[in-house]
Each structure stands twice: as structure tokens, then as C-alpha cells.
Amino acid sequence: MNATRYVITRPCLQEGSLRLLKYLSATFPAAGPVTLVDDRGQEHTAQVDPARQRVWGLGGLYHAGHLGVNDVLLITSLAPGRYQVEGIVKPHAPAPAPRREAPPKPETRRVVVSATPHVREVRVQEVRAGAPEAAPVKGAERREPGAPAAAQVGVAQVNTAQQGAPVIAPVLAQTVASQPPAPKPAAARAPQAAPQPTAEGVGAPAATVRPLDVRFPAAAPAPTPASPEAQLAELARLTGYRLDTLGPGVVRLTADLGAHGYAVLVATGEAGLQSAAWKEAADFRLLLTAESERPAGVPRLTREALSALIDHAHLAPLSAVDLRGYWKAGSVDLESAASVAELVGAHLAQRGAFSAVLLSLAQHPAHSVVSAQRLAERLGSAVTPAELGAILDTLTRAPFLALSPLPGGGYLLRAGVPELLLELAEYAEGVRRRLRVPAGQGREAVRA
């Protein structure tokens, strides 16, 4: 069976739909419900609407497959009303790695650390640029009896007075690590004072080499997870509910929306179901559980979904009106949260489209004529024609007043985009000051 290839567009993601183009008429010949089976075997129910040339209800399929703009759907008909779909994510071209020239190899030289009539110990030392030559080391020709070769500081202390740090510290550390421990006489075990370098940078060899005391900062303690009551209070603050604690383990979320208002009772544990507060009047009742738990006889709100809803509300505005349908559905879990994520994604996509139009307008000087057609060509698939028309119309009205419509589909750009945004920010700041919002609270204080 041949698979039909369909490229996903931005409107498809925003609407959770698929456009019925001419080449898809044979694939979806009749109106009505259909079943789509993705490559993980999960079934998704969709609705074919030939009148509007759309297949609706694909939001869950796009979200489950992590599909985006310009990704591909391969659609294969299995039976009447049943299809196999496979999502192909468009690969991103890797950015070319910046070319870096190989660092020059460090200059090295051989340094005599210690010597005896029969053995001479030599180490390779890196030479730093601008570093003065090491002066001959007094006592380097002989070693104190009973002291290990690694303990002879030698040239490791050359020029510490001028440079502020030992030049041969890495070499010395390597020397210490490479030498086996040697027994020390009892007199040598007593700690001795480290030698002080002279003006010429030459010091007496040290009797012992003490290991460095390296201390790492203690790991920060893991953050304590917020209590269910605190999470519900955060959700209420972000979405406009009034929160009341009715009793141990029972919280009420009230949407003060007049004729559209409603109340939700949430039991944070099994014990809350037995309390008298659970009998309070409410439109919806849910038990807070884990995602893996499915209580019988009572709708659930999972802790994972509650955390996801809070994250979504931080990204884009969510209201009690947006969430009412999810409470009414009877179970708010991660699948419900994924649907809310689609709504948030649509808000963010609209904001991104608005930003794209502003950035395109910023390429024109003030008091110049802007062609809507040229803007559409420049933006390409980033903004649909319908979105572009709505955004341009918004920019002609207060408080923006950035554009003046002209006959023939053109617009006069009344001011440069940087100046426009600066004036808009000043206007918003003036209104904020009139609201008498305490300093440091900002938007959150207004919404609380």
C-alpha cells in the first residue's frame, strides 16, 4: 500500500488539524469519524470535514509524536475509516564547527632535580613565555640522606618571589606521584618549616612535601517538594481562583466569574473524602492522586498534572475559563495537561508571529510605505496571511498606532520600531504607576 505524504504547517499545529488538499481527497473520501494509529500503536480519533476541507482532532497525535512545522506525516489506509500514520521529524542541519588553529606545543627543557655520584634525576619542564631562566640550585648536586628525591624542592621554588607562584608546581606534583614512598628516620618525621626563597629565588630544599588539601564545596541540598496545598495555592494565584481551606485535606478553588462562576473541591488525600468539608457545595470534586493511581467512584487530579499546569501557567496566561472544561471532564491527568500545553503553545506561537512581524517592520525606516505583500513574501511560512492581516490591523489601532492603512494594501510606518517600542514601554510604565502597585511586585501583584 502506498503512503500519502503530508507536510505539517503552522496552522495545522495551532488548530490540531490537517488540511484536505486535492491529492488527499482519495485518502479521506467521506465525512465522519476516522481512527488514526500512530507508529507506537496508539489510536487517535479524528473527524473528517470536507465542507471546511479539514481533518480535525490531530492535536494529540502531533503532541505525542513531538511534531513541528515542516515535519512529515505518512498516511496509509488500512481499512475504511482506519489509517496508519507515521511522523517523520525533519532533521536539523548541524551548525558547522568553528575552525580552530591547533595551539602551539609548549616549549620544554630538561631540568636536573637531584644528582648523586651514581644517579641523576632529570625532569622535563614546560617553559612559560617571558619566564626568566632558572638559576642554579644550591644543593641540587647532593641529596640529604634519608629524604626522598621527590622531597627535594630544587627548581620548583625558583623565582617564587618575582612570579608569586611556583613555576614547576605541575612537574613537582608529578614527581611526588611517581616516586614510591621511602621510609624516613624518626628525626625526619618531625614537621619542618618551609624554606623561604631568597632575592635570587633560591631556597634550601624542603624536608617534606605535604599533600595539597583540596576541599570541594558541599553539594546543595535538594529542594524540598512543595506541599499539595502550596501547589494549589500557586495554581490559584496564576489562574485567578480564590483558594479556601475548608478543613484538613480539603481545598476549594472558586472562580468568581458572575454567571460563569464555579467552584472546585480538591481532596489532597483519602482522609479528606471522609471529612465534613467534602460535603460542601461545589460544581466539581476531585481527589489528588499520583498518575499511576485510579481511584474508584471519584474523579482525580494527578500531582504530575498539577505541576504541569503550574508550569504552563508560568509560560502563558491561563484562566479559570480555560480550565473549566478540564474539571468537567472528570479526570485531570497528564493527557489533560498535554492538551493545555497545546493551548499554551498556540498562545506562544501567536506571540512569536507578532514578534516576527515587528522584526520585519524594523527593517523599514520611519515614514516609509510598507507593502503587505512584500511582508508576506519575506516572512514566508513563519506567519500565515490571516495572521499577518490581523497583526497589521492591530498595529493600526491604539495603543500602537504604528501603521496607517493606504489604498492598495500598503501601510505608512508612522515611526521606527525601536522608537515605537520605547514609547509603548513608557506608556505601560505610566499606567502601571497609576495603579499604585507596590514596588517589586509588578504584574504578579496586579493578577493576585
pLDDT tens readout for residues 30-80: 888 999 998 888 899 999 998 888 899 998 888 888 888 888 888 998 888
Phi-psi region of 32 (alpha: psi -120 to 50; beta: other; left: phi over 0): left
Q: Looking at the domain assignment, is residue 186 inside a domain? A: no
Q: How many CB atoms lie within 10 A of CB 67?
A: 20
User: Among candidates 249, 243, 247, 252, which has minimal Cα distance to 282?
Assistant: 252
Q: Looking at the domain assignment, is residue 196 inside a domain? A: no
Note whether 237 and 275 are same-domain residues.
yes
Residue 13 backbone phi and psi in degrees, to 5: -70, -40
Note whether 333 and 418 are same-domain residues.
no
Q: Looking at the domain assignment, is residue 240 inside a domain? A: yes
Q: Which of 72-76, 130-134, 153-157 has the highest mean pLDDT?
A: 72-76
Q: Which three cell numbers stand for residue 381?
A: 511560512
Say what the pLDDT of residue 247 is.
Answer: 87
Torsion on CA atoms 330, 334, 336, 340, rounded to nearest 10: 140
Note whether 338 and 430 are same-domain residues.
no
Q: How far apart are CA 319 and CA 323, in angstroms?
A: 7
- Of 40, 70, 88, the position where a domain reaches its end is 88
Q: Looking at the domain assignment, is residue 137 inside a domain? A: no
43 bridge partner residues: 37
- What average pLDDT is seen over the chain? 76
Residue 302 backbone phi and psi in degrees, to 5: -85, 150
Q: Looking at the domain assignment, is residue 194 inside a domain? A: no
Note whether 390 and 321 are same-domain residues.
no
Determine which of 211-215, 278-282, 368-372 has the lowest per-residue pLDDT on average. 211-215
- Of 88, 103, 130, the position where a domain reaches its end is 88
- Please give the tally of structural domains in the chain: 3
More confident residue, 190 or 336: 336
217 cis-preceded (ω within 30 degrees of 0): no
Q: Looking at the domain assignment, is residue 355 inside a domain? A: no
* 255 touches 262 (CB < 8 A): yes
216 has a pLDDT exceeding 60: no
Note whether 337 and 409 are same-domain residues.
no
Range of the domain at 17: 4-88
The pTM score is 0.47
Provide the pLDDT confidence category of residue 278 given band limits of 50, 70 and 90: very high
211 has a pLDDT exceeding 50: no
CA 309 to the chain's CA centroid: 16
Note whether 336 and 266 are same-domain residues.
yes
Note whether 325 and 395 are same-domain residues.
no
pLDDT tens column, 356-405: 999 999 999 999 999 988 898 888 888 888 889 999 999 999 999 999 99
- Of 319, 345, 371, the position where a domain reaches its end is 345
Note whether 390 and 340 are same-domain residues.
no
Q: Which of 21-30, 122-131, 216-225 has the highest mean pLDDT?
A: 21-30
User: Among candidates 93, 80, 79, 67, which has minimal Cα distance to 7?
Assistant: 67
Q: Looking at the domain assignment, is residue 331 inside a domain? A: yes
Q: Which residue bears the cell 525601536?
A: 418
